[in-house]
Amino acid sequence: MAKVTIQQLQKMKEDGEKISMVTAYDFSQAVLVEKAEIEVILVGDSLAMTTLGHEGTTALTTDEMIAHIRPVVKGAPSPMVIGDLVFGSYNESIAQAIHSSNRLIKEGGCDAVKLEGALPDTVRAIVDAGIAVQGHLGLTPQTAVLLGGFKVQGKGHDAALKLLDDARRLEEAGVFSIVLECVPEELGRVMSQIVSVPVIGIGAGRFCDGQVLVFHDMLGLFDRFTPRFVKQYRQIGQEIVGAFQEFKEEIRNGSFPSEEHAFSGFSREEADGILAGIKSRMN
Ligand code: KIV
């Protein structure tokens, strides 16, 4: 697959071809996503929970984010790689937002950045600085406290209109795409129709321009909780536990390692001779 561009994603929307996006946080995950020819990788701040074991996303630092973007970029040359701006790295000032975006691009090597919330001025400034920005509306985990927790957003007429207005303002500010999280599916459909850029849904129903899922959620690698909108395509976590249990059992019963996993260099007799020599010198 050739390197995916913003223009290609835009054309996919215009042609009605659905876009696929998944998160990845390290080299081996990125290699797998590359092989599957997924168009977009998000190095999402969900890594704070899935990979670093935090309760939420707010503790993640820009240094940590960069450390995860780098191996993903190495492992996946073809998909567009988007780095998440972490909480606290773009809410102080526009200058701070540009600085943080520069770091993800320069030090991490990703193609674009994503930021949460209706912040058109911030988006415009980052885009003017020459960096592609993806927006993120609906349930925005970094500020979930303000939204009343991890709940469906945009329910009801006014809330839906507000989100649609936010989407248009982000579009005008220059985002190349919008992630829309955890909203009624009719809102996902309408937003995909009223903005010209691709809307990538997560828990936003069937009618968005594309879909994104978190790597660990869709593969059964994170069992603290599974939101209703997640489809678990595989139970890799259970597979891994099974493999470790087998490994342990084979170590205990002596069937691993077997001869095929061992190296030969000298015979048992030679080894016994060396051992006898050592013992006699010790006595
Ligand atoms: O951090 C993340 O994984 C995300 C997705 C939920 C879109 O922002």
pLDDT tens digit sequence for 8-57: 999 999 999 999 999 999 999 999 999 999 999 999 999 999 999 999 99
* pLDDT more than 70, % of the chain: 100
User: Does residue 79 surpass a pLDDT of 90?
Assistant: yes
Percentage of the chain lying above the pLDDT 90 cut: 95
Report the nearest atom of ligand 1 relative to the CA of 179.
Answer: 7
CA of 135 from ligand 1 middle (Å) equals: 11
- Is residue 107 part of the annotated active site? The answer reads no
DSSP string, 94-151: HHHHHHHHHHIIIII--SEEEEESS-HHHHHHHHHTT-EEEEEEES-GGGGGGGTSS-
Query: In this predicted model, what pLDDT tens digit does every residue of 97-141 receive, in sequence order?
Result: 999 999 999 999 999 999 999 999 999 999 999 999 999 999 999
Question: Which comes out higher in pLDDT, residue 264 or 111?
Answer: 111
The ranges of the chain annotated as CATH 3.20.20.60 are 6-234
Q: Which of 38, 34, 37, 197 is nearest to 114 (CA)?
A: 197
- In this prediction, residue 63 carries a pLDDT of 98
pLDDT at 282 over 90: no
CA of 45 to the centre of ligand 1 (A): 6
For residue 172, the CA-to-ligand 1 centroid distance in Å is 23
Can you tell me the mean pLDDT for 177-206?
A: 98
Q: Which of the following is catalytic: 14, 181, 250, 260? A: 181
Measured in degrees and rounded to the nearest 5, phi and psi for residue 80 equal -70, 135
| pLDDT value, residue 93 | 98
Which residue puts its alpha carbon closest to atom 2 of ligand 1? 44
What is the overall mean pLDDT for the chain? 97
Task: Please compute the mean of the pLDDT values over residues 85-103 and round it to a whole number.
Answer: 98
The arithmetic mean of pLDDT across residues 54-75, rounded, is 97
Q: What are phi and psi of 181, to 5 degrees?
A: -115, 130
If one residue of 84, 142, 150 were mutated to test the ligand 1 pocket, choosing by the most ligand atoms within 8 A of its CB, it would be 84
pLDDT of residue 51: 97
Q: What is the mean pLDDT of the segment spanning 82-92?
A: 98
Distance (angstroms) between ligand 1 centre and the Cα of 265 equals 52
Q: Average pLDDT of 235-250?
A: 98
CATH topology of domain 6-234: TIM Barrel (3.20.20)
Q: Is 155 a residue whose pLDDT tops 90?
A: yes
**pLDDT confidence tier of residue 225, bands split at 50, 70 and 90:** confident
Q: 233: pLDDT confidence band, cut at 50, 70 and 90?
A: very high
The ligand 1 site (C-beta within 6 Å) comprises 23, 42, 44-46, 84, 179, 181, 202, 212, 214
Degrees to nearest 5, angle at CA 193 with 188 and 199:
55
Spatial distance between the Cα atoms of 168 and 174, rounded to a whole number of angstroms: 10
Task: Lowest mean pLDDT of 72-81, 167-176, 230-239, 274-283, name the range.
Answer: 274-283
